[in-house]
Amino acid sequence: MKKSISSPAATSWTSRPQGTHAEYKQPLSTCISPDSLGTLSHDTTNDEDRWFFEALENLGLSLHHAQQEAVRHHEGPLLCLAGAGSGKTSVLTARAAYLMAVSSVPPESLWLVTFTNKAAAEIRDRLGRLPGITPSMARRVQARTFHSFALRLLQAYAPPFTLLAEERSRYGFMKRVLRELGLQEQFEAETALASLSALKSRAELPEDWQPKSPLERDLRRAMLRFEEQKQERNLKDFDDLLLDTIKLFEAKPELPVKLARRFQFVMVDEFQDSTPVQIALLEAIANAHRNLAVFGDDDQTIYTFNGANHRYITTFQERYPDAIRVTLDLNFRSTPAIVGLGNAIIKHNQDRLSKTMQAVKPAPASSAGTSQQPYYLRPNDAEEEAMLMIEKIQELKQQGHAYQDMAVLYRSQSVSRAMIEQLTMEGIPYEQLGREPLFYDHGLVKPVIDHLRLSLQPRDKEALGSAVACLYISREQGLRYIQQQEKERAKKYPLVHLASCQGIASFQQEAVKPRIRYIKKLASMKPALAVQDMRREFYDKFTQAASHADSSAYQDASAELLEELESSAKRFDTVEAFIKHIDELAARYDAQQATGSTNARGSRTEPYAPQQQARQETKAKSAPVDTPYHARDAEEADDKLTLMTIHRAKGLEFKTVFLLGITEELLPHRTSLRKKPPADKKAALTEDRSDRSAAMAVTDASRSQEEDVKLQLVEEERRLLYVGVTRAKNQLYISSPVVVHGDKQEISRFIKEAWQQ
């Protein structure tokens, strides 16, 4: 029975979501005129600090009353609840300057905690330009990330060690471990490392983890071996730094006392992203004097997969009953319509600190190509979504908007597949923020493509490795044996050599010829049916990809990637046509990457996968790909559209934002909508750790633990959309495709709720 939906497809951008009733009005925020901010400015009757705020104004930084209240706060705990676009960083740096310039606090007594080295450098730079602060004073302030701070401590007080600082080295290290254990086909190195990082962020070690499935037991085995090999080589990575600092404090209790005497004032930026181990480190030092000021927004907690917990900020005043709370609720970034939509979305979260943002920025004057409110699209599927979105992007470009002022945001990589394909094929310059492969090069997708390649070219050497691995034979061992046998006697189907390979189990030998017959059959199938059939026959079992009531979030994410592959394959009638498309796409993609383009943060983009490197090495053997991208002059080549996940977009802003895939089961993601939460998600959200206070428990006693987990999962998805919406300064375009992986879906409930005011 086909699913019926209340909002049908529509191919034009509209000022209200499809299917919303005419009586529902567009969400808007209160708009504060910039000219009226003078009435909210500082109290000039305070002679002691009048000079400081007047000097700030001369520098172009005029603080309103709430901002100044946070700046003036001296001793005791402070919660500065700073909404999106509220000038949080300006307030934090101004408070640090105030403490030094007005309150005569020595620079060495300040510890400013940031979550990136870039933010720390920016704060030091800003400090040096504020009233009463010299560059020397700014340099003496400890503005550091948790990890940088911990590294300094360990280097000073712990036995010598070598830091595994390069992520590439860490990645290679885990890759070798997976190969050693024969798990390289089950897990990507990035996946294993991300899981290990999440575990340690909760102050846990692999030996503490109790896996609940064979897949998780294999993952734990890889983690344990990774840790063993680090210890054998006296290596630490960044995840170890915080845990080992806590251990150092336990071994040397006089050390945190000494640090508390030095760092009399502690300020934490982006506090909502704090993890249990970071909180433990922070409290070990700051609780002695309680001069702890935290800045953040619980509505922007979107990193629970990394161990963050929004309840550290929502329960701050329970942990510190004497804390002063200052709310920064003026948004200087976005138009009233964008701020209003954000408010209307996030207010439906139950577990949050109440606040309603007000826009300071007026709506832009109506003109060609300039929207005064968010626009909505209801395309039929991802392909149409990408086509219509690119049309709108090109229209804006022709009207004078720069690509670099636009960003396309999405929840997960699979959602961006069609968009990246069409941008690449049309030669539109874009930059992906983040180390993501081309969709068809993804470790879970490529083996399926390789089997299709072998159905057409059974002697394809690069594709053979995937077929070997899917027979549960070591890739290296199998390919080495095939290569040896081919030298003696070449076969049309080289895979057949494995049927007589000594050193592998008999069941593996017996599976070879049936698998070859199966691969032959794939060539005559429609590609989408071939992908489905491979998954059913052997591939889902091999990868443990699954999407059912008991599957883990990792298994579900794997299944989602393969479903997106099926959706892509449906466009083609033959396997040959599908493979030809993938190869042409890869050639164009590599040609664009080879230009050495820079990403949104200014670092050079490097090839993600060995497949891309291999393609580039063989490029000379084929004709060059001529794309419109290569015809652009140098100046225009620097003007690129930005693509990234919403998680990566946090902290950034763009004049124009496009949101992809704002549809049920995409955002909110289907794992958050299950009747029974995934076991791995549940474990991460319900661990009863000793470092968590009673305030961190379920806040509503009427909810069961499982109901609380379900609520947390959905509310984080809503926060994710809120973060996406509030990245936009002037223009916002939201797309909700009807068909997702073959099933019809409604527009995201979060958008519908926002309009049902």
Annotated ligand binding at 704? The verdict is no
DSSP H stretches of helix in 646-704: 646-649, 679-686
Instruction: Provide φ and ψ at 158, rounded to 5°.
Output: -110, 165
Annotated ligand binding at 83? The verdict is yes
Annotated ligand binding at 89? The verdict is yes
Q: Which of 709, 654, 720, 639 is nearest to 676 (CA)?
A: 709
Residues 18 and 8: their CA atoms lie apart, in Å, by 7
At 449, list the tokens.
């493509």
- 629, 427 contact by CB (below 8 A): yes
At 442, list the tokens.
């993804």
- 574, 587 contact by CB (below 8 A): no
Residues 216 and 201: their CA atoms lie apart, in Å, by 18
Instruction: Provide φ and ψ at 13, rounded to 5°.
Output: -75, 135
Cβ within 8 Å of residue 562, ≥6 positions away: 444, 445, 448, 531, 535, 539, 540, 543, 545
Residues 435 and 59: their CA atoms lie apart, in Å, by 38
Task: Quote the crossing angle between the two packed helices 189-201 and 276-286, to the nearest 10°.
Answer: 40
Cβ within 8 Å of residue 646, ≥6 positions away: 302, 409, 410, 411, 720, 721, 723, 724, 727
Residues 272 and 531: their CA atoms lie apart, in Å, by 42
Residues 442 and 452: their CA atoms lie apart, in Å, by 15
Annotated ligand binding at 342? The verdict is no
Q: DSSP code of 365?
A: P
Annotated ligand binding at 414? The verdict is no
Residues 526 and 452: their CA atoms lie apart, in Å, by 11
Tokens 């520098």 sit at which residue?
59
Annotated ligand binding at 172? The verdict is no
What is the distance of C-alpha 157 from the center of its chain? Answer: 34
Task: Quote the crossing angle between the two packed helices 146-157 and 238-251, to the nearest 10°.
Answer: 50
Q: Which of 737, 733, 756, 753 is nearest to 337 (CA)?
A: 733
Q: DSSP code of 604?
A: B
Annotated binding-site residue numbers: 82-89
Annotated binding-site residue numbers for ATP: 82-89
